[in-house]
Amino acid sequence: MHLYQSNRLEYLLALLVEICTAQPLADPLATEIIVVQHPGMGRWLAREWALKTGIAGLLSFPLPARALGDLYRLLRPEAAPEAVWQRSVLRWRILALLPAYAAEAGSAGVFAPLAPYLGAASDGTALFQLAGRIAEVFDRYQVYRPELLLRWEAGEDADKWQARLWRRLCAGQTPHRAWLYADCRRRLMAPPPILPERLHLFGMSSLAPVYWQLFQQLGRHMAVHCFQLSPCRGFWHDLKPKWRQAREQEADALLAMKALPKEPNALLVQFGQAGREFACQILEGGPDNPVELYGEPEGDTLLARVQSHLLNMQAMPQRPEEREFMDENDLSLQFHDCSSELREVQVLHDYLLDCCQRDPELTPGDILVAAPDIGRYAAAVQAVFGEAPPERFMPFALADQPLAAAIRLPRVFLELIACLQSRCTSTELLALLEEPALHRRFGLEAGHLPTACKLLRQAGICWGLDAEHRLDLDCGPASGEAHSFRHGLDRLLLGFAMGEADALHAGLYPSVPAGDEAMVVLQALLALHDRLAAWRKIWQRQRPAAEWPPLLLRMQEDFFAPAGGAEGVQRLREAIHELSEELALSGYSAPLAPKSLTLRLEESLNAMDNGQAFLSGRVTFCNMVPMRSLPFQIICLLGMNDGMFPRQQRPVGFDEMAKHPRLGDRKRREDDLYLFLEAMLSARKALYLSWLGHSQQDGTERPPSLALSALADYLDAAFQIKGQPEKRPSQAQSVQHPFQPFSPKNYGRALEGCGLAWPASFDPAWLPATGPGAAPAFLDGPLPLEAPVGAIELSALLRFWRHPAAYFLQYRLGMALHREEDMPAEAEPFTLDGLDNYLLREAVVERLLAGQDEAHIGAVLRAQGCLPEGQFAALALRGPAEEGASLAKALLPLLAEPAEPQELQLTVEGYQVSGRVDRLYRAGRVLWTAGQATSGRLTDVWLCHLALAASGRPCSSTLVFRNKDTAVQIWTWPELAQDEAAALLAPWLRGYAEGQETALPFFPKSSLAWAESMQKTDDEGIALSRAGQRWQGSHTGAERDEAVFALLFSGKNPFDDTFIRLAGLLQSLLARKAEAANAGA
């Protein structure tokens, strides 16, 4: 065996290429076998090989286990594949055996520790999860404790349940990997007849002891070249911190006579445990004369000097004055304190743009961004990098994403299964319909989804497929079918058949689906309901395991169109096929519970998608994975938070490896720390480190990762800033970023509180928010009309004065700020809010005026879904029914003897007003509302009242409403003379004409508050104060927050002279009402 050591992967690659090209294989068609520890390393090798030689062919990059398996099959061609010992298959085999030990577990036998799982609930999930953990432990034993498994198989440790279970697993099966490794070592004692000409181990920084021993034995019979990535050139196998050396000297008299050595390099001591253990493995029986290819880092940057310290194992300074001087403006090593994952990515984007601006030769492929869990950053990366405009766009690739995260359809399949096993709410149904392959399967397009949402809300569909579904969920018979999917669809079908019929049919009230599109959507919803109901019954019970894969394939065909998501459908079928193969190999035929099957599917579909692009010439975002530390110009590490890195591994209580650890065992914490050390060595120009240093909620400081803290302490101990001995180097390399991207600090050359000069933000979108003063006005001035206003429709006049600003925006500018449609509720109503009570009162009054009795009204309202279920309905209806009855009682005499509507034609100050006035009775014109008298109601009454009088057909007008004390109140405006009415109408018409050119500051709530206050106090100061309270908001919502006002009046003084003039029109209206009431008295 030949050993080559270097601190640079490029040097090892150059030597590998030189060996293979200078000494080609005897067989020109033979493949060079280059064993790597991660597929990413293989991709990098192939790419760099092609760049160096012009072509990369006949190269194989197996992982160690695969390489040894292929070599073993050369030694023993008749060897059967060990598929039954794969972890995924092993779990099913263990699951099949465990129930047989239930009796023994219950009688305090060997299997007593498993009693809580073997006697668990009937859904089988606990037992399935236990089988998975046992399979995981046994899988590690095969690599790291093969001799233990061989002893168990030979009959030792009969009093241990793991040993007995392992013997049962071995009975009648093909040899497992532990036996194969032992057999391979026996066969390699003598020269084997057939072996490859040579083999390379590339980039090795850690290897299981059994693998290393086998490769060593192979090195006796063939050329084995081991290319080891090592951080330092010296003997670092027994590095210990100074405190441990001192403790050993105290315990050993001979050592105590020697001088205490210098403090070793702190980074090698704290981060290098995993590498030192592998170095010890190599030292035992490895090559005696390794070839060293170490090289000093290029440049004199802070990062290069830290790498040089590591290479030369430079001891820590003994005195402060021995520290090296550093440039405080060095940008090669940076710490970034952010407040959220989104801010981390935003800051990173600015940093990379600045790097590309400072170094034109830098390409996106030279940049690696890694995190302990890149999935936490996937959405932020898509939002920041994916949505950047062309001038700031950087090509990027997200690797190490779960299949269900990378492709939507598998995730929707899991959501569909969850829906069948849960309440099946309306929002879950709509979320499923958003998947193109699903809604196309039922004949819908994306444009139909708003209609589907509207129909679900209109029909009162909340949760549950039907009454049977609710019973199966143990909701009890009292839950009934109301507000279920079936109940809502029946209402829609009844509405289609009966139309706008105000009648109950078999307890159902029709809900009419309006339009042809609604009928298409209704047909699709019916098909979806029937299919969900059928599959819900399938997912209710256990069935033999072999029956599930065909059912899953049929379910996929039932719910997803083949052409709607070809890649997603293919990946889903592959996952189902994988499950089928596992069951076939394991021979598992016992009944399988749906929840256990769901767990297995989630595990499969949430596995990492190995087909994703890695090293594709774009900025690579990936997980921090051991043994994939490749050289990049810039390496950025996100999420370096305390508790998240290094990642902790909590072994199960029965793990023998955790109880008795050995040299060479994989430890997640030590692997992560060594991964951090490798990242420091792999960065060629810059290392960027980021963490969540402050809470986004309250600004509380959060500590960084142990790795970041150790690196910062090292910088402070090894370096100093010339002329500033009091300033810590780690502080000079740190930036604390503002919580928000629009902070003015982001647009300066340096951030306050940090020593590192930080570039201004590259995102101009946030820049306007940083400037002083108010935001620019939406409109600079009036929009002149092509011709002056002449003819005015009465209906347009009424619409205008209900909300002049919204009218201007919609009819003059062609804009409508629609409120987002409410999603259907997920639960039936239990309590009613203010709006619900208002609608109930209105419905009660309308039906009482139509002659319906209270019992019928209650039944209709329940059937419409307006009331809670059961006894809650009567309680909820009591208040609105009493209030509605008093309102109807006051209205009945006023609404006697209806009169025909009047067509009006009149001219006032050159404005030709025309229109139709309805709601005329013997008592005059009567309007009513179940709520309070709003500005819109008052202007409707008053303007029609003036128009009738000005046209020569005067009559009194009445408004019946409820005041703040819920009492019925009646306001009446008496008849007016024609000239007086025309004079009063004129300012309203002028305001309409003015409002066609600009948005008038007439705010329905604030203007009415001003008018009411003036009517009571005649004090303009008090009136403006009351208007300001409504505008700013106190106990109720602020009127200024309404979207129209926020757009048109932001940064303006709302209460100018125009406001007072227009609000004065309302005061005139109220004054006439008051005079009429006093006159009537």
The upper half-sphere exposure of residue 141, i.e. CA atoms within 13 Å in the direction of its Cβ, equals: 26
As a dihedral over the C-alpha atoms of residue 722, residue 728, residue 730, residue 731, rounded to 10 degrees, the angle is: -110
Helix axes 594-605, 408-420, angle to 10 degrees: 170
pLDDT for residue 896 is more than 60: yes
- Tokens coding 729: 């180097």
Higher per-residue confidence, 822 vs 46: 46
pLDDT for residue 424 is more than 80: yes
64: amino acid identity, one letter? P
The answer, yes or no, to whether the previous bond of 646 is cis (omega within 30 of 0) is yes
Domains of the chain listed by start with CATH number: 2-78+188-239+278-304 (3.40.50.10930), 83-173 (1.10.10.160), 324-400+617-765 (3.40.50.300), 404-605 (1.10.486.10), 773-1000 (no CATH), 1001-1081 (no CATH)
The number of beta carbons lying within 10 Å of the beta carbon of residue 568 is 24
Give the model confidence (pLDDT) of 429-471 as tens digits.
999 999 999 999 999 999 999 999 999 999 999 999 999 998 8
Distance CA 284, CA 140 (A): 23
Higher per-residue confidence, 257 vs 626: 626
Helix (H, G, I), strand (E, B) or coil at 605: helix
Question: Can you name the residues that pair with 959 across neighbouring β-strands?
Answer: 927, 971
User: What value does the mean pLDDT take over residues 965-971?
Assistant: 87
pLDDT for residue 287 is more than 80: no
Residues 6+ apart with CB under 8 A from 1007: 935, 1027, 1059, 1062, 1063, 1066
User: What value does the mean pLDDT take over residues 819-831?
Assistant: 75
Kindly tell me the burial class for residue 388, based on how many C-beta atoms sit within 10 Å of its own C-beta (0-12, 13-18, 19 or more): middle
Q: Worst-scoring range by mean pLDDT, 835-849, 1016-1030, 1044-1058, 1066-1080?
A: 1066-1080
User: What value does the mean pLDDT take over residues 306-327?
Assistant: 91
User: What value does the mean pLDDT take over residues 623-628?
Assistant: 78
Helix (H, G, I), strand (E, B) or coil at 697: coil
Phi, psi of 691 (to 5 degrees): -155, 165
Give the model confidence (pLDDT) of 673-712 as tens digits.
999 999 999 999 999 999 999 998 888 999 999 999 999 9
pLDDT band at 890 (very low <50, low <70, confident <90, very high): very high
Give the model confidence (pLDDT) of 238-259 as tens digits.
776 654 555 555 555 554 545 4
- Tokens coding 832: 């009613």
Residues 6+ apart with CB under 8 A from 374: 398, 399, 400, 401, 621, 622, 623
pLDDT computed for residue 903 by the predictor? 95
pLDDT computed for residue 264 by the predictor? 80
- Tokens coding 163: 């040993």
pLDDT for residue 825 is more than 70: yes
User: What value does the mean pLDDT take over residues 379-402?
Assistant: 92
Closest CA to 546 of 588, 586, 575, 600: 588
732: amino acid identity, one letter? A
pLDDT band at 1078 (very low <50, low <70, confident <90, very high): very low
pLDDT computed for residue 922 by the predictor? 93
Kindly tell me the burial class for residue 148, based on how many C-beta atoms sit within 10 Å of its own C-beta (0-12, 13-18, 19 or more): buried
Residues listed for the chain: 1081
User: What value does the mean pLDDT take over residues 193-214?
Assistant: 92
Q: Worst-scoring range by mean pLDDT, 191-195, 284-288, 439-443?
A: 284-288
pLDDT computed for residue 753 by the predictor? 46
The number of beta carbons lying within 10 Å of the beta carbon of residue 958 is 22
> pTM for the full model?
0.83
Name the helix (H) or strand (E) containing 386: none
pLDDT computed for residue 1055 by the predictor? 93
Q: Mean pLDDT for the chain?
A: 88
- Tokens coding 470: 């609710």
Higher per-residue confidence, 1034 vs 459: 459
User: What value does the mean pLDDT take over residues 935-942?
Assistant: 95
Share of the chain above pLDDT 70, in %: 92
Closest CA to 302 of 282, 272, 329, 322: 329
